[in-house]
């Protein structure tokens, strides 16, 4: 069936028709088109972002005042657990895979992803996986409530939801691994003939390294949750000291996955920011090659620092020292990156459109999150911060004002290319200021709460924490509302608005800006050499 | 018409099998969850239905790919994509096994000695588990599952090692025969490989029966039983899968799907088989001998 379509297509001139499959099922359920699949990923990720965000609203509502007002403690724990799982695996990761799907083939001059059918499957596992996970909310005993880190023995006391949790994580892992294999095969095998590795845009580079991290650690997570499953249902003793196992073993395995995982969520963000800042500074990216090496260095270090998440579990002193120093080394390549972004802007002809505003906020706010990370890397003082709101503030700075801001920046940056319409700049700026102010009201006070000793994952707290929590909740509601406003902006842009040019942004470099807006259904079908002058790092290397 | 596609990267335009695969996975998983959670012995039929859907999907999906390959729709670049896909898939499998090997090393070098009072575990040992030695192999301070006997590595496991090593040789001979365009020899040596794999699985099953019935070595025999059965069990599942894959490839060779210069399906399965072989060597050394 599919062959006939292909042959028809070959007979045609490649550039004149869209050839979108007709009908909803064919267009969306059976698609192999990287742009359609990218769109599916982005819509799914945004739906999960709102779903997980609604849980965050429940959390902030309960924490608005001390005392128990709205939800039971167990339901509160279900909310924190599900919020994290959904945001990490359902929102941030799929959003970046969506950006990868849309942009990587267009950035390297490829007609599609290397393995288009598998690309479809990578996406279409996710809705099922999250349906399985979310279904536990409606069951006796409720959803998993032991935290997204799934530490035994607590998580094993969750009743029936353990099996749902484990198998949902397995499905997400299968999806991620297939997606990552596809990204690697695409980047290594599908570049236009004259595009070398050091011609690639930094977004492509960061995704290449991210995909490697994904393939290396998602199977480890699968192994960890499998051991949870057998400990729960088949009487194994991996995490049971009575049988010679150790609950801390789970933490080691989990964080061997978990630490690279945080870079899986931030390296593509670095890539997006490295595309946007040069465009609006109207200067080439400063230190392109050092950016590539810094990304690789961060990825390497991410494998050997995992136990800094576990300073308080009682590791031998030598291990504490090693993980402390190794962790602090990550600040070096990350510092290279921040320096390069700032140096790119130095004496640039800067303008401040919405994507640039979000990128600037990213550089500043992510750096705050990075600094609090260095604070926590100090093993002796981490004993004070551990499991307090200080860590909550830290990882929300790197994940919300880091990863999520980068995704939003990328969405504004490439939306004209995807939809063919310019978004409304005034509304975009309102969204930016609304988000940036509210997100700081939301998370900045949590630093103080944590330093004062407020533990995380609790529905009630001492009255001394009341004021900062109220501020945090107000910021949270405002930030949540701002993202609903973002839906409106995107919807309005997709439906109409000023026509976008092919180049979209003055002086933007990269192959994606050489194709019309909206990007035709098929691009770079002839797979010929591309014009390296159009690429940001084309002729310089 | 097929020649026109030679310089064109083949992009299939519709794919119906992935969604079938997703439904299959979901049904399988829900069936398994219900089976695990049911108080009374539950029904495995939902899970079997899911597995049947997955098998149907594989036949359909691979069948489509084989058909396209036979129509010469794939150029060498498509071939490279497939190769990379397989290589990185095997790498993900390596990491999956690395996880369980890591658990084994951690238990042997850290958690068990600590429970026995070594290093910072002194207080734990004296207060919680006085008298526990913490020596591998162990089923833990509370003697979970009762005393057990170890499998002698130089009986069945050694035979199994030789079987798998021999099967790596036979599949390589088959590969050479295929490159020499000798279909009959290829099929013979592939069948030999499948047989060696099947005998391996048979002995592995026998070993499990002996372990359970005579040695009192069970999945529930503390950390030793956990690591032993999970590592060898997942390996056995991979051997089974590999043997099925080689069987399919044998039929495809018989039907003349492969050419001396182009036979990615064969190579992918051969890589997988070698991978399973290497994992076994790790198991033989670290689980059985040491």
Minimum CA–CA partner of B144 in chain A: A243
Concerning whether A334 is annotated as a catalytic residue, the answer is: yes
Say how far apart CA A501 and CA A409 lie, in whole Å: 19
CATH, residue A402: 1.20.210.10
Cβ(A517)–Cβ(A500) below 8 Å: yes
**Closest CA of chain A from B258, distance in Å:** 21
Backbone angles phi, psi at A424, to 5 degrees: -80, 115
Per-residue pLDDT of chain A (541 residues; tens, 9 = 90+): 344 444 444 444 444 456 788 888 889 999 999 999 999 999 999 999 999 999 999 999 999 999 999 999 999 999 999 999 999 999 999 999 999 999 999 999 999 999 999 999 999 999 999 999 999 999 999 999 999 999 999 999 988 999 999 999 999 999 999 999 999 999 999 999 999 999 999 999 999 999 999 999 999 999 999 999 999 999 999 999 999 999 999 999 999 999 999 999 999 999 999 999 999 999 999 999 999 999 999 999 999 999 999 999 989 999 999 999 999 999 999 999 999 999 999 999 999 999 999 999 999 999 999 999 999 999 999 999 999 999 999 999 999 999 999 999 999 999 999 999 999 999 999 999 999 999 999 999 999 999 999 999 999 999 999 999 999 999 999 999 999 999 999 999 999 989 999 999 998 999 999 999 999 999 998 888 999 999 999 875 4
Minimum CA–CA partner of B33 in chain A: A163
- Of the residues A337, A417, A421, A509, only one is catalytic, namely A337
Contacts with B9 from chain A: Cβ below 8 Å: 110-112, 190, 527
In a domain, A80, yes or no: yes
CB contact under 8 A, A132 and B61: no
Mutate to test the interface with B, among A243, A248, A526 (most CBs of B within 10 A): A243
User: What ipTM was reported for this prediction?
Assistant: 0.95
Please give the angle made by the CA atoms of B191, B192 and B196, to the nearest 5 degrees.
Answer: 115
CB contact under 8 A, A234 and B219: yes
**Closest CA of chain A from B141, distance in Å:** 6
In the numeric block, which tokens belong to residue A231?
């400990």
In a domain, A8, yes or no: no
In a domain, A50, yes or no: yes
Cβ(A441)–Cβ(A471) below 8 Å: yes
In the numeric block, which tokens belong to residue B71?
């129509």
SS3 state at B262 = strand
The overall longest dimension of chain A from CA atoms, in Å, is 74
Q: Each residue of A152-187: b (16+ CB within 10 Å) or e?
A: beebbebbbbbbbbbbbbbbbbbbbbbbbbbbbbbb
B219 → closest Cβ in A26, A182, A235: A235
Concerning whether A17 is annotated as a catalytic residue, the answer is: no
Closest CA to B187 of B196, B195, B178: B178
R_g (Cα) of chain A, nearest Å: 23
In a domain, A461, yes or no: yes
Range of the domain at A293: 34-534
Q: Each residue of A254-286: b (16+ CB within 10 Å) or e?
A: bbbbbbbbbbbbbbbbbbbbbbbbbbbbbbebb
Contacts with A244 from chain B: Cβ below 8 Å: 107, 111-112, 115, 138-141, 222-224
Q: How many domains does chain A have?
A: 1
Cβ(A323)–Cβ(A369) below 8 Å: no
In a domain, A467, yes or no: yes
The 3-state secondary structure of A452-490 reads CCCECCCCCCCHHHHHHHHHHHHHHHHHHHHHHHHHHHH
Contacts with A253 from chain B: Cβ below 8 Å: 99, 102-103
Q: Which domains does chain B have, with CATH numbers?
A: 1-74 (1.10.287.70), 76-289 (1.20.120.80)
Concerning whether A121 is annotated as a catalytic residue, the answer is: no
Concerning whether A148 is annotated as a catalytic residue, the answer is: yes
């Amino acid at each position: 069936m599919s062959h006939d379509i292909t042959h028809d297509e070959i007979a045609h001139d490649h550039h004149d028709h869209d050839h979108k499959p007709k009908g909803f099922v064919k267009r969306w359920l059976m698609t192999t088109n990287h742009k359609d699949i990218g769109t599916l990923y982005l819509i799914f990720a945004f739906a999960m972002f709102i779903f997980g965000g609604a849980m965050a609203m429940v959390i902030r509502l309960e924490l608005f005042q001390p005392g128990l007002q709205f939800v039971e403690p167990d339901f509160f724990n279900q909310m924190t657990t599900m919020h994290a799982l959904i945001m990490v695996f359902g929102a941030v990761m799929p959003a970046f895979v969506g950006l990868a799907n849309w942009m990587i083939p267009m950035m390297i001059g490829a007609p599609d992803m290397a393995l288009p059918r598998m690309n479809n499957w990578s996406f279409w596992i996710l809705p099922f996986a999250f349906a399985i996970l979310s279904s536990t909310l409606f069951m006796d005993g409720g959803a998993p409530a032991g935290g997204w880190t799934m530490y035994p023995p607590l998580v094993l006391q969750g009743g029936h939801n353990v099996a749902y949790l484990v198998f949902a994580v397995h499905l997400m892992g299968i999806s991620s691994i297939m997606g990552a294999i596809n990204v690697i095969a695409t980047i290594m095998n599908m570049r236009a003939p004259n595009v070398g590795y050091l011609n690639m845009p930094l977004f492509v580079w960061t995704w290449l390294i991210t995909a490697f991290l994904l393939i290396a650690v998602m199977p480890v997570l699968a192994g960890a949750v499998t051991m949870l499953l057998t400990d729960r249902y088949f009487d194994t003793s991996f995490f049971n000291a009575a049988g010679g196992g150790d609950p801390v073993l789970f933490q080691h395995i989990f964080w061997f996955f978990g630490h690279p995982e945080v870079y899986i969520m931030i390296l593509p963000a670095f890539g997006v920011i490295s595309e946007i800042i040069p465009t609006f500074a109207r200067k080439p990216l400063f230190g392109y090659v050092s950016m590539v090496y810094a990304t690789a260095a961060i990825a390497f270090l991410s494998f050997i620092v995992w136990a800094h998440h576990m300073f308080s579990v009682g590791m031998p002193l030598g291990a504490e020292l090693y993980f402390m120093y190794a962790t602090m080394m990550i600040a070096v390549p990350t510092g290279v990156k921040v320096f390069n972004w700032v140096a790119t802007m130095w004496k640039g002809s800067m303008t401040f459109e919405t994507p640039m505003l979000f990128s600037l906020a990213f550089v500043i706010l992510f750096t705050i999150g990075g600094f609090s990370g260095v604070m926590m890397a100090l093993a002796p003082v981490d004993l004070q911060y551990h499991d307090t709101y200080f860590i909550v503030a830290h990882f929300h700075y790197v994940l919300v004002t880091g990863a999520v801001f980068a995704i939003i920046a990328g969405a504004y940056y490439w939306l004209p290319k995807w939809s063919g319409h310019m978004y409304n700049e005034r509304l975009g700026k309102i969204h930016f200021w609304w988000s940036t102010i509210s997100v700081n009201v939301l998370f900045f006070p949590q630093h103080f709460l944590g330093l004062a000793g407020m533990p995380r994952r609790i529905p009630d707290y001492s009255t001394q924490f009341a004021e900062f929590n109220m501020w945090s909740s107000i910021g949270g509601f405002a930030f949540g509302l701002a993202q609903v406003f973002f839906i409106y902006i995107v919807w309005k842009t997709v439906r109409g608005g000023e026509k976008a040019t092919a180049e979209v942004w003055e002086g933007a470099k990269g192959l994606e800006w050489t194709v019309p807006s909206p990007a035709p259904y098929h691009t770079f079908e002839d797979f010929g050499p591309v014009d390296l002058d159009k690429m940001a790092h084309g002729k310089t290397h | 018409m097929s020649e026109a596609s030679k310089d064109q990267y083949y992009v299939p335009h519709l794919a119906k099998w992935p969604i079938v695969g997703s439904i299959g996975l979901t049904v399988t998983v829900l069936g398994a969850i219900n089976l695990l959670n049911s108080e009374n012995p539950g029904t495995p039929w939902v899970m079997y239905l899911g597995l049947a859907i997955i098998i149907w999907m594989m036949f359909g999906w691979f069948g489509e790919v084989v058909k396209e390959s036979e129509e010469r729709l794939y150029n060498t670049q498509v071939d490279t994509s497939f190769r990379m896909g397989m290589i990185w898939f095997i790498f993900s499998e390596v990491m999956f096994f690395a996880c369980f090997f890591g658990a084994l090393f951690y238990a042997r070098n850290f958690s068990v000695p600590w429970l026995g009072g070594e290093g910072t575990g002194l207080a734990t040992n004296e207060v919680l588990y006085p008298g526990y030695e913490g020596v591998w192999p162990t089923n833990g301070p509370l003697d979970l599952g009762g005393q057990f006997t170890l499998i002698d590595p130089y009986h069945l496991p050694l035979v199994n090692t030789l079987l798998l090593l021999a099967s790596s040789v036979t599949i390589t001979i088959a590969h050479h025969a295929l490159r020499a365009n000798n279909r009959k020899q290829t099929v013979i040596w592939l069948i030999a490989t499948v047989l060696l794999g099947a005998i391996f699985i048979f002995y592995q099953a026998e070993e499990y029966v002996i372990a359970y019935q005579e040695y009192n070595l069970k999945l529930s025999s503390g950390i030793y039983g956990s690591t032993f059965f999970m590592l060898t069990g997942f390996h056995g599942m991979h051997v089974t899968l590999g043997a099925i894959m080689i069987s399919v490839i044998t039929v495809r060779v018989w039907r003349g799907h492969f050419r001396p210069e182009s036979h990615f399906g064969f190579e992918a399965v051969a890589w997988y088989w070698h991978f399973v072989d290497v994992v076994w060597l790790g198991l033989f050394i670290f689980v059985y001998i040491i």
